[in-house]
Amino acid sequence: MSHEITPEMFEQPSWDERYGGPGRVWSGRANAVLAAEAAGLVPGRAVDLGCGEGGDAIWLAEHGWQVTGIDFSEAGLARAAAHAAERGVADRVEWRQADLRAWTPAGADGVEQWDLVTSHFLHLLDDGMLEATREMARAVAPGGTLLVVGHHPDDEHTGLRWSMPGVLFTAEGLGVALHPDLFDVHVEARQREEVRDGVAHQVTDAVLRARRRD
């Protein structure tokens, strides 16, 4: 990567600027791991944390889920809402703005829970994903699924990632946030091909999937 990565790039103004530019930042399609993992689940309530332009949330809505999409970027959420309306699923997705470094599913009415809690490529400074995963785990309803996917530290060499110490994570590293009595946990480093500027790269996703026991 040619430009310097700075902490400011992980803040809301930087994301608002990206989403405020011309054209889509992401493909608009669902992430492959989400589509593969959710295909085997019975649709219910889902929350997508760090939903960006809404590709995953909209895919879930189109597959029968009632979805909450959360992100701190107002510009990203505005785009997501517009895409949901274009695809005819606006009534199946609720968009909420929140900073996931401070987010908790606990509110005045108790802990809000979903049947699927999913997050793709949310990366927080200072190992922030560990605490975020703890909160995500609290948001999983009994019998529900947690799915957290991110760029694996092996991707460092590709030069494709925004990375600073503590930003990339392994599934094993996040898995310690889950209580072993409550969750059946599966951790994986999953390979896939990513095409950037017409060039194909082999990349690795950290995949944490956990099912909360009833």
Ligand X SMILES: C[S@@+](CC[C@H](N)C(=O)[O-])C[C@H]1O[C@@H](n2cnc3c(N)ncnc32)[C@H](O)[C@@H]1O
Q: Kindly list the residues in this chain that would bind ligand X in the complex (CB under 6 A).
A: 15, 26, 31, 50-52, 55-56, 71-73, 76, 99-101, 120-122, 124
**Nearest distance from C-beta of residue 10 to ligand X, angstroms:** 6
- The region, left, alpha or beta by phi > 0 then psi within -120 to 50, assigned to residue 67 is beta
- Cα radius of gyration rounded to whole Å, the chain: 16
Measured from the CB atom, the residue of 122 and 208 that comes closer to ligand X is: 122
Q: Which residues contact 13 (CB under 8 A, 6 or more apart)?
A: none
What amino acid is encoded at 24 in this protein?
R
Measured from the CB atom, the residue of 91 and 99 that comes closer to ligand X is: 99
**Nearest distance from C-beta of residue 128 to ligand X, angstroms:** 7
**Nearest distance from C-beta of residue 49 to ligand X, angstroms:** 7
By beta-carbon distance, which residue lies closest to ligand X?
52
Measured from the CB atom, the residue of 26 and 164 that comes closer to ligand X is: 26
Tokens 């990206």 sit on residue: 18
Measured from the CB atom, the residue of 77 and 185 that comes closer to ligand X is: 77
For residues 139 and 47, the answer to whether their CB atoms sit within 8 Å is yes
